[in-house]
Structure 1
Amino acid sequence: MSSSSDEEIAAAYLLLKKRRKKTNRRFWVNPFYTINLGYSSYIVAQELNHDPVKFHGFYRMSKRTFQTLVEIIKPEISKRDTNYRKAVSAEERLLITLRYLATGDSYRALTYYFMRGLTTISNIIATTTEAIWTVLQPKYMSTPTPEKWTSIADRYYTLWNIPNCLGSLDGKHFRIKRLPKTGSTFYNYKGYFSIVLMACADADGLFTTIDAEIVTEQFFVHQILDTLLQLGLLELPQPRPLPLGNDDFPFYFVADEAFPLKNYIMRPYSKQKEFLITAYQEDGEVSNVHLGCWCLNSVYLKAQFAVKEETINSVIKAACVLHNFIRIKQGIFTQPTETIADRQDQVHIPIEPMPQPQIIRNHSEAQNIRERLCDYFLTPAGAIPYQWNHIV
């Protein structure tokens, strides 16, 4: 048999196999959706334009912010009408995506809310979340520079009296569908499959860096964060003295007890263990008041997403950058009650020094850094009035 005959047989086999896999669709657009399109959530939501409160409750942002977002993202998500059907508008595509991010409803539930097909809903969410990240990330979650890190640290000191702090680290589990041939890789201790978002937020609760992987807090610190710091990719500023101090003090992130204590991560004292080796329990509790960190509390990060692997990353990134966009556009920032100069010039009630016991203990470098920070919080320059109310 000639080679040309073999090629013809192979081509015929592939064509037959492709035809067998092809399924005939009953409808181009299901008549149920066509008949009831006028009752969809998008049509009903148009009446909310006259009620700012209800508009915000449904869209999870103000009307002006939504219109601005539509103008920015419309060129990326708009589709053309065809001879077969009318394209879904950019406004409706964005609303479907916002409702999914805010509620975590299943795709099938959204089909009945918006009277759109299951495949249509899936494609809209996948393409719109990717477009949201692509368009908004360069401006609303740009890569931090040394100047930006320094600005964040100054803002932390202005608002929370925490010097040299670059941000708060935290993590959140996002529910996903069990991926094929992955076994228990994505299974977590909470009893479901998930991907962990590790994020850093500044003093105003805006995300500065995010990473969505199969990670734990320990893995994030020892592998990802360590690698970024060693390669100099984070471009952290050089150490500088604490306020009213002379010796250089490193810049650092704050985190909760799930993270390890590192030179660049300051976590609160553990009430069960580390207080036992601390000279005074009051010192540790005062430091814990200062070292509280932001949690991932965005309106678009509270839902549980059950999506495929190829979509989950764009969904998480879109939720984070939308959080920054809304807070910046709507001016949701914490206002300081006093300036740094006012705080330094303020007359503080003198704190009686406590007698220091002769305790000899070997501390790691990270522990020594935290001890120096703890001592600063006990000085008139570093103390805040309400910190003494949290000592038990």
Structure 2
Amino acid sequence: MCIAHGTVGSQHIIVIMNPRVPLLYYWYTRIHKKRSVQRRFWVHPLLDHGPQREERFEKFYMNLREDEQEFYNYFHLSMASFDNLLSRLENSTLPRINTIMRMCISTKMKLAICLRYLATGCSMKELHFTFKVGTSTISGIITDVCSALWDVLHDDFLPSPTKTKWEEIAKGFDQKANFPHCIGAIGGKHIRSKKPELSGSSNVKNKDYYSIVLLAVVDSDYKFVYVDIGSYGTNCDSYNLKNTGLWEKLNDESLPIPDPTPLTESGKSIPFVLVGDEAFALHNNLLRPFGGTHLDERKKKFNCRLSQVRRYVEWAFGIMAAKWRILQRPVDTSITSTIEIVKACIVLHNFACERDGLRFDDSSEATSAMDNLENEPNPRAGAQANNIRSAFADYFMSPEGSVPTQ
């Protein structure tokens, strides 16, 4: 109950009212005041209007195209690759139509804004002053372009691997890393993000920062073969893997990987495997290092050979983060937009590797910007999985499998 005192003329009045009434009145006046605020400008004077904005951007864009290296430094893509992306996006749902109210932003300018954001990791406010476009508009452009990039690229540059593709990956690791029967290096990284609404501590990594998880399988050319994005940052790699379609297909044997074959002419048939670190649990199709500190020579050599393959996924993360530097800082968007940004970086990484080659600076610094996931406690694996790992360890000690550098 709430009692209010007041005076009308010479009379003192006491009013008894429901305690919710003052609170409702407060919120009513607050909302009404908020709605009554008038915008000062339809378009801020600092921003260019449609024709002037496009002319200004076109002049800047043409100046960039006069120097191939400067163009690459600005967008982290060659001119030929930029043109290829633009032609793909022109045939997507991204282009808009001019209206009598305003001119739409061209697809070329949208692509330039998005690539500059991904390549430098700069703030949207900085892009606002560079391109003379509103901050909220830039935020929408980045999400829309990233979504469109995934739609137009993932079928060509991140397709679902076939049995032939898995065989090619295994051949690549056998030739480059001296590790037979390997169909990919698997690993995970934290992508730092701002706190999601109503998320509690689900996305907190060690109570340090909020993040989502990028889980990926990489081939011997540092290109991504499979990705899973968006798991909670509190989970370890093994838990995230067990909640993916890849793990489900491995368990029900529906993944089109090659049939088991012997490592040597007289040996037993051994399945093809993924290679991971201590964050993953041992499985018939997934190898992890031997645990412990007092290891014999056989186990040490196995761990050494395994680490040579694991480095491919770490290098792939480092190359991607060095090129698309938005991954080196917390992504200041919603979780939905962050996932679209990471997906775009994945397909752009494969796209750039195939078209422009591995043009990157030292990636060691970039790798540290994306934290590893927590290790899985060394569980008791099945006898068959342990036998498969032992078969690889024996092979690496044999004359057929040993290499001079081990």
Structure 1 length normalisation: TM-score? 0.78
**2-structure distance, mates of 1:169, 1:177:** 26
Q: Which amino acid aligns with 1:29?
A: V
Q: Which amino acid aligns with 1:54?
A: E
Q: Which amino acid aligns with 1:283?
A: K
SS in 2 for 1:33: coil
Q: Out of 154-163 and 236-245, give the one that drifted further.
A: 236-245
Q: CA deviation at 1:220?
A: 1.8
**2-structure distance, mates of 1:172, 1:142:** 22
Contact 1:163 1:243 in 2 (8 A): no
- 1:133 corresponding residue in structure 2: 150
Residue number among 148, 164, 167 corresponding to 2:165 in the alignment: 148
- 2:41 corresponding residue in structure 1: 27
1:242 aligns with 2:268: no
**1-structure distance, mates of 2:304, 2:397:** 8
Residue number among 218, 242, 256 corresponding to 2:277 in the alignment: 256
Residue number among 290, 304, 311 corresponding to 2:337 in the alignment: 311
What is the CA RMSD across the aligned residues, in angstroms? Answer: 2.9
The number of residues matched between the two structures is 340
SS in 2 for 1:195: strand
1:382 aligns with 2:372: no
Q: Within 5 A, what are the aligned runs for 1:30-109?
A: 30-34=44-48, 37=53, 44-76=60-92, 77-109=94-126
- 2:131 corresponding residue in structure 1: 114
Q: Within 5 A, what are the aligned runs for 1:284-299?
A: 284=302, 286-293=304-311, 294-295=313-314, 296-297=317-318, 298=320, 299=323
**2-structure distance, mates of 1:114, 1:190:** 37
Pair 176,251 (structure 1): closer, same or farther in 2 beyond 3 Å: same
Q: CA deviation at 1:277?
A: 4.8
Q: Out of 43-52 and 158-167, give the one that drifted further.
A: 43-52
Contact 1:266 1:291 in 2 (8 A): no
Q: Out of 202-211 and 364-373, give the one that drifted further.
A: 364-373
Q: Within 5 A, what are the aligned runs for 1:4-23?
A: 21=35
**1-structure distance, mates of 2:36, 2:194:** 26
Q: Which amino acid aligns with 2:127?
A: L
Contact 2:110 2:141 in 1 (8 A): yes
Q: CA deviation at 1:202?
A: 0.9
Q: CA deviation at 1:47?
A: 1.8
| Structure 2 residue runs without a partner (length 5+) | 1-30, 360-380
User: What do residues 191-248 of structure 1 show as CA deviations (whole Å, max 9, x unaligned)?
Assistant: 1111111011111111111111224212123333533323445333321122545321
| Fraction of identical pairs, as percent | 30
Q: Which amino acid aligns with 1:46?
A: M
Q: Which amino acid aligns with 1:267?
A: R
**1-structure distance, mates of 2:36, 2:167:** 58
Pair 107,281 (structure 1): closer, same or farther in 2 beyond 3 Å: same
**1-structure distance, mates of 2:338, 2:46:** 29
SS in 1 for 2:277: coil
Contact 2:298 2:393 in 1 (8 A): no
Pair 317,169 (structure 1): closer, same or farther in 2 beyond 3 Å: same
Structure 2 length normalisation: TM-score? 0.75
1:200 aligns with 2:217: yes
Residue number among 196, 201, 217 corresponding to 2:237 in the alignment: 217
- 1:187 corresponding residue in structure 2: 204
**2-structure distance, mates of 1:366, 1:40:** 62
SS in 2 for 1:29: coil
Contact 1:278 1:284 in 2 (8 A): no
1:300 aligns with 2:324: yes
Pair 244,54 (structure 1): closer, same or farther in 2 beyond 3 Å: farther
SS in 1 for 2:243: helix
Q: Which amino acid aligns with 1:256?
A: D
Q: Within 5 A, what are the aligned runs for 1:229-378?
A: 229-270=250-291, 273=292, 275-278=293-296, 280=298, 282-284=300-302, 286-293=304-311, 294-295=313-314, 296-297=317-318, 298=320, 299-300=323-324, 302-304=327-329, 305-332=331-358, 364-378=383-397
SS in 2 for 1:292: helix
**2-structure distance, mates of 1:165, 1:18:** 64
| Structure 1 residue runs without a partner (length 5+) | 1-16, 334-361, 388-392
